[in-house]
């Protein structure tokens, strides 16, 4: 689905922290939506957690920086990091170039699935994103 020109794949879930979540059984892959990256600018630095680290829902798990913005991403549910995208350390712009493919952030083991209840389907996320886009006009 496209929302005002921004890609939002139908098979993902979304949160209001500009993240996408691809759930596969008791694991998930996390990344940043295209609109969030366009607002941040070209990502120049990524600080990732370590495999084995655990995070509570809402806890900051990584840092991103561009020339005009720096911020953190928050864990959408209680989880353990099982893999990080090491490619981003040497090539952080990969986030901007391929946000829904090679530009993923981390893979997690979901420790509490109830935390996923707050995630939005693509239809709900599209409505939310339209409102977000209006804020930046």
Q: 2-132 is classed in which CATH architecture?
A: Beta Barrel (2.40)
Q: 5-12 long-range contacts, Cβ below 8 Å, gap at least 24?
A: 6/33, 6/34, 6/35, 6/38, 6/129, 6/133, 7/34, 7/99, 7/100, 8/33, 8/34, 8/122, 8/125, 8/126, 8/129, 9/100, 9/122, 10/122, 12/100, 12/122
Does the predicted model carry a pTM greater than 0.85? yes
52-101 pLDDT per residue, tens: 999 999 999 999 999 999 999 999 999 999 999 999 999 999 999 999 99
Residue ranges per domain, the chain? Answer: 2-132
9-52 pLDDT per residue, tens: 999 999 999 999 999 999 999 999 999 999 999 999 999 999 99
């Amino acid at each position: 689905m496209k929302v005002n020109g921004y890609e939002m794949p139908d098979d993902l879930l979304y949160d209001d922290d500009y993240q996408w979540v691809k759930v596969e059984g008791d694991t998930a892959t996390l990344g940043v939506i295209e609109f969030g990256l366009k607002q941040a600018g070209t990502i120049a630095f990524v600080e990732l957690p370590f495999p084995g680290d655990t995070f509570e829902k809402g806890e900051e798990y990584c840092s991103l920086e561009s020339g005009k913005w720096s911020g953190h991403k928050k864990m959408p549910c209680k989880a353990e990091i099982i893999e990080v995208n090491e490619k981003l350390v040497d090539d952080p712009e990969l986030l901007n170039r391929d946000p829904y493919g090679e530009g993923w952030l981390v893979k997690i083991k979901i420790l509490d699935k109830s935390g996923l209840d707050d995630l939005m389907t693509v239809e709900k996320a599209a409505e939310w994103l339209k409102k977000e886009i209006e804020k930046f006009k």
